[in-house]
Amino acid sequence: MTTLITPPQESDDREAPTPPSRNTRAKVGRWALFFAMVVIAVVMLYPFWVMIITSLKSEAQFLSGGGFSWLSWKHLSATIPVGQEVLSSTIVCSASILIILVVGLPAGFAFAKLRFRTSTAVFLVIVSAMMVPLQAILMPEFVNVTKLGLTGGYFGAILVYAALGTPFSVFLFTTYFRGVPDELIEAGIVDGLGYFGALWRLVVPIAIPAIATVTVLQFIQIWDDLLVGLLFIQNTSERPITVGLAVLAAGRTTSIPELMAGSFISALPAMIVYLGFQRYLVKGLTMGIDR
Amino acid sequence: MSAITSNAPRVRRMTLRRRRQLSGFLFALPAIALVIGFIGVPIGQAVYYSFTQWNGLTSTWIGPSTWTQAFHNSNLWTALENNALLLLAVPFALGLPLGIAVLLHQRVAGWRIFRSIYFLPTAISWVVLGLVAERFFAYQGTLNSIIHALGFSHVNTNMLGYESTALSALGITFVFTMIGTNTMLFLTGLATLDPSLEEAARIDGAGRWRIFRSITLPHLSRFIQLAFVMTVIALFSALFSLIFVMTGGGPGYATTTMEFLIYQTGFNQGDFGTAALYGLILFVLTGIVGVVQLRLIGSNE
């Protein structure tokens, strides 16, 4: 843009009358902007388009390129035990998130309001655990959980997910509870609630937004995860849907339209949760910086 | 705590304080136990087992020679090299979202809908995105259709099929998967920018590029740092799903990164000891990035 000196009364209001040349230029700019946004939208929607279009073909139609049919959807449950796998995902997700909340809420309360002698150091240790990728400790973890006999059912995976999710939830709850006035807790104690009562009756109710943030983030993380489900749930009939899809895909023998139909089903719950609770996700992601 | 004058309340206060501390410790105990048991202890075990020959059942102490042996293994260097090459994707994984966030911040008609659309892929599994990416790069996939539509009908790519191009395809997919998260971060950063600052600069005659460079970018620096750290950590520890579905680490070892090498060494070759050792190397690599992140968090407190 050229540096032109604008009269002061014009710069006060952007919608003020402007010379026609600038006006049309701004209009063109707006349209170019809108066009760019549409192009990006097309790129970002590409995975969904591929999933839907491809799943609406039979294997033969997929190979030849033309035509549509419901065949892949009809045969889906014979190839991929979708119902069973969605159920497994749901069980693993809910149980892990429940543990993460039940363990994280009192810990966050303790680190924020009931500080003990080494609490700062312990808090730092737990927060640093956020940085440890599972792959780094994969071998000992796998052998430990196997030796405990927990890879048979869901328990091994649930405990590993819970342990991996706990550091973040402790961090988030601690930060959140620091904002709760001490007087509120004191008043609760004076009223004879006890520390547990204060946590349950006073703190948890005002922590609903933080609880929602942890729940949504962990749901998407666990639902979408492959590694833990792949290794810590040995029984194929108890596989979560993401694992089921990945194993079939890596095998390279399953019909691609059916894989895409399964993918679409697996993506649906996470998409719904995401669209419904978008703001909690943003909050969780920018935690620690947006304060 | 207020000044204590008489002796009687002092005793009560002390016990109250001790009770509070004890409750605090008990409240934190389950979290401490879970994190120590499932994250702390395995780190210690990994150190021990990295000096042994270990198949998951029995382990024999070998000593430091396991480490010298590992560093003579070409697969380790290939994996580290792949990780290093993938770092080249990071500028794109930050730059594209920055541009998209700035576009969204112009609040053009329907920007809220665009925002939701841009973030939608963030919700779905990298397993699914990997599957779609495999279709995109496949011989009969979308990429070749686009190339043909542009008029180069004799050009046929098969990026995942060749050692020279597979890693690039993986990097491109990684950039795509990071767009939602990073755009979200930058958009949050832009929302905290005081619009009157930009307005003032515009009145002073600053051009758009100048405003972006001198006002917007410095304001976003904390967000860019955070996005950088998150992107690098994801690059080192979240590609497993993509690799598993798209290439299985191949062709050859062309797309085997550290995290995938750990999995392959442990579960395909049954060499748990070496896999534990590789895990420690990954631990150190992410640890370096993690220290940076903790500094960032700390600097805000």
pLDDT (tens digit per residue) in A237-284: 899 999 999 998 888 778 888 899 999 999 999 999 988 888 787 777
Q: For residue A15, what pLDDT is reported?
A: 46
Structure tokens at A197: 């009562």
Among candidates A155, A124, A227, A152, which has minimal Cα distance to B242? A227
Q: Any chain A CB within 8 A of the CB of B39? A: yes
| Among B residues 138-157, those touching chain A with beta carbons less than 8 Å apart | 140, 142
Say yes or no for a CB contact (<8 Å) between A122 and B128.
no
What is the residue type of B225? Q
Q: For residue B11, what pLDDT is reported?
A: 54
pTM: 0.87
Q: For residue A192, what pLDDT is reported?
A: 80
Q: Are A170 and A104 in contact (CB under 8 A)?
A: yes
CA torsion B101-B102-B106-B112 (nearest 10°) is: 0
Q: For residue B24, what pLDDT is reported?
A: 87
CA distance A49 to chain B (A): 10
Q: For residue B13, what pLDDT is reported?
A: 58
- The parts of chain A modelled with pLDDT lower than 50 are 1-18, 290-291
Residue in the structure block whose two tokens are 């009364």: A9
Q: For residue B34, what pLDDT is reported?
A: 95
Of B27, B244, B286, Cβ closest to residue A109: B27
- φ, ψ of residue A80 to 5 degrees: the values are -120, 120
Q: Are A213 and A108 in contact (CB under 8 A)?
A: no
Q: For residue A20, what pLDDT is reported?
A: 55
Series of mean pLDDT values for 10-residue runs along chain B (301 residues): 49 71 89 94 92 84 86 92 95 95 87 90 93 89 88 84 90 95 90 82 83 86 87 92 91 93 92 92 88 67 46
Residue of A nearest to B118 (CA): A44
Residue of B nearest to A231 (CA): B267
Structure tokens at B282: 């990954």
What is the C-alpha to C-alpha distance for residues A87 and A66, in angstroms, rounded to an integer?
35
The helix (H) or strand (E) run that includes residue B284 is helix B272-299
Structure tokens at B122: 């963030």
Say yes or no for a CB contact (<8 Å) between A51 and B104.
no
CATH 3.40.50.150 fits B89-255, yes or no: no
What is the C-alpha to C-alpha distance for residues B186 and A193, in angstroms, rounded to an integer?
43
Q: Where are the domains of chain B?
A: 89-255
Q: Any chain A CB within 8 A of the CB of B124? A: yes
